[in-house]
């Protein structure tokens, strides 16, 4: 969580930092937390071998979004 807070606050200017970090956290928790029933279904269907691919896809998506945000918005440190 500390890394998320650091990255979230350095990508945004101070005047929108609170709303931006909160919105990002809420959207992430909704999208990825909302897939819990899917993961439970995989486990019950003996398809738990799919989980590493799911986890890898989420990690890759997170890195891509971070790199795009960093490139488009700049990094604000100290303002």
Domain count, the chain: 1
35 in any annotated domain: yes
Only one residue has tokens 């971070």, namely: 66
Q: What is the pLDDT of residue 78?
A: 46
60 in any annotated domain: yes
Range(s) of the domain holding residue 38 = 2-73
pTM value is 0.56
| pLDDT tens per residue, range 59-75 | 898 888 777 877 776 55
Q: What is the pLDDT of residue 79?
A: 45
Query: DSSP of 4-37, one letter per residue?
Result: HHHHHHHSS-GGGHHHHHHHHHHHHHHHHHTTHH
78 in any annotated domain: no
Q: What is the length of the chain?
A: 79
48 in any annotated domain: yes
Residue with the bigger pLDDT between 51 and 6: it is: 51
32 in any annotated domain: yes
13 in any annotated domain: yes
Closest CA to 31 of 54, 1, 6: 54
């Amino acid at each position: 969580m500390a890394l998320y807070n650091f990255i979230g606050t350095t990508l945004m200017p101070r005047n929108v930092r609170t709303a931006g970090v909160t919105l990002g956290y809420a959207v992430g928790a909704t999208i990825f937390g909302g897939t819990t029933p899917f993961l439970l279904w995989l486990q019950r269907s003996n398809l738990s071998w799919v989980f590493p691919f799911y986890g890898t896809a989420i990690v890759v998506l997170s890195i891509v979004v971070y790199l795009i945000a960093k490139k488009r918005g700049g990094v604000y440190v100290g303002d």
